[in-house]
Amino acid sequence: MNVAKSGYRVFSANSSAACTELAKKITERLGVELGKSVVFQESNRETRVDVKESVRGQTIFIIQTIPRDVNTAIMELLVMAYALKTSCAKNIIGVIPYFPYSKQCKMRKRGSIVCKLLASMLAKAGLTHIITMDLHQKEIQGFFSFPVDNLRASPFLIQYIQEEIPDYRNAIIVAKSPAAAKRAQSYAERLRLGLAVIHGEAQCSESDMADGRHSPPCVRNTTGHTGLELPSGKQQAPFPGIELPIMMAKEKPPITVVGDVGGRIAIIVDDIIDDVGDFVAAAEILKERGAYKIYIMATHGLLSADAPRLIEESAIDEVVVTNTVPHEVQKLQCPKIKTVDVSMILAEAIRRIHNGESMAYLFRNITVDD
């Protein structure tokens, strides 16, 4: 296809070669060339972007995969989007398979909802649409002021289970926590398999720190002093004593597996695998309960820190992730890690958006709970 006549161009916003592999696969499927641009870091670590061809009046797709250096990747995307905006691009669509900061989508203590902040920054930089995959929470789409297409990787992972796991009919889908049960149920129903849930493992700590919000309310006895004396000598109207019910502290129950995994293949499903400690602990429990093989299926394989070594030394037989995040180095460190290519659905989404076709085909048989 002649990119000059196609009406759209595809750029990669990554400065590292490892992160451009997905962009190359997508452009090969589309039959277009990757847009000419230079993204690099100055000696003082500032990000610089130079677009080497005209984009005036064109629809531009920016493919940005997120490596370990998350903040640099975000700046690369923002700077490139703004460069294209000031170069008079008609539409700027971000293809961000793994959306960063998606776990920081809820208010905790005096923190912030960073995911909402990032959504606002992308809109300000000039993006008009986003294509992503398996957001950590579907409600994140509400943070954006423009359309978001949240594609699913489950059809590719389910196909891998059917084609690459021998005797998968003897498998059982496992949720490593009650919070992941809905996703696991979706896999189990599609594969016509049983479901098990691990309950009682370590959860994200939300310890009650000694801050002002946990101070007990002031209780006053209204039978004595009837008012509060102000500095001026006047008295404030009396108020009754406050007695609020106290929320009982959570107590983690012993680890239990709800469901029979004895003599079966256990397949743990989740959206992100980063710190693998919980997965390794879950694998040990499943082995103790009689599972003879353990697989982990996840969309985004961040695999930070010592994840490859821990997986290699654990009871896990195989970890299957998609190529939304580059992880070639981790695969060299641990042969148990396998990759499923999702460039096909990303390329089809780009083609349909450019041609003004319905996206419904990419969401067929996907319910609200998926």
End-to-end CA distance of the chain: 36
CA distances from 96 to 30, 222, 248, 321, 341 (A): 17, 60, 41, 16, 15
Please tell me the distance from the alpha carbon of residue 47 to that of residue 38, in angstroms, as a whole number.
11
What pLDDT is recorded for position 279? 94
What pLDDT is recorded for position 199? 87
Q: Which residues of 342-365 are buried (b: 16+ CB within 10 A; e: fewer)?
A: bbebbbbbbebbbeeeeeeebeee
| Average pLDDT for 200-221 | 47
What pLDDT is recorded for position 134? 95
Q: Are strands 91-96 and 129-133 parallel, antiparallel or unpaired?
A: parallel
| Average pLDDT for 21-25 | 93
Query: In terms of residues, how long is the chain?
Result: 370
Asked if residues 314 and 320 have their Cβ atoms less than 8 Å apart, the reply is: no
Closest CA to 100 of 70, 130, 140: 70
Q: Residues near 82 by Cβ (< 8 Å), separated by ≥ 6? A: 125, 126
Q: How confident is the model at residue 214 (pLDDT cuts 50, 70, 90)?
A: very low
Asked if residues 151 and 108 have their Cβ atoms less than 8 Å apart, the reply is: no
What pLDDT is recorded for position 3? 47
pLDDT digits (tens, 9 = 90+) for 173-185: 999 999 899 999 9
Handedness of CA 56, 48, 14, 67 (dihedral sign): negative
DSSP H helices in 60-168: 70-86, 114-125, 154-164
**Mean of pLDDT over the chain:** 87
Q: How confident is the model at residue 231 (pLDDT cuts 50, 70, 90)?
A: low
Q: How confident is the model at residue 14 (pLDDT cuts 50, 70, 90)?
A: confident
DSSP H helices in the chain: 3-6, 21-30, 70-86, 114-125, 154-164, 181-191, 277-288, 307-313, 328-333, 343-355
Please tell me the distance from the alpha carbon of residue 179 to that of residue 175, in angstroms, as a whole number.
8
Please tell me the distance from the alpha carbon of residue 50 to that of residue 205, in angstroms, as a whole number.
44
pLDDT digits (tens, 9 = 90+) for 126-168: 999 999 999 999 999 999 999 999 999 999 999 999 999 999 9
Amino acid at 95: V
Helix (H, G, I), strand (E, B) or coil at 134: coil
Please tell me the distance from the alpha carbon of residue 19 to that of residue 22, in angstroms, as a whole number.
7
In this predicted structure, which of 1-10, 29-38, 305-314 has the lowest mean pLDDT?
A: 1-10
Please tell me the distance from the alpha carbon of residue 370 to that of residue 195, in angstroms, as a whole number.
16
Helix (H) or strand (E) holding 8: strand 8-12
What pLDDT is recorded for position 238? 54
Q: Is the pLDDT of residue 212 over 80?
A: no
Q: Residues near 246 by Cβ (< 8 Å), separated by ≥ 6? A: none
Structural domains for the chain: 9-151 (3.40.50.2020), 155-202+255-340 (3.40.50.2020)
pTM for this entry: 0.85
- What's the DSSP call for residue 282? H
pLDDT digits (tens, 9 = 90+) for 62-99: 999 998 899 999 999 999 999 999 999 999 999 999 99
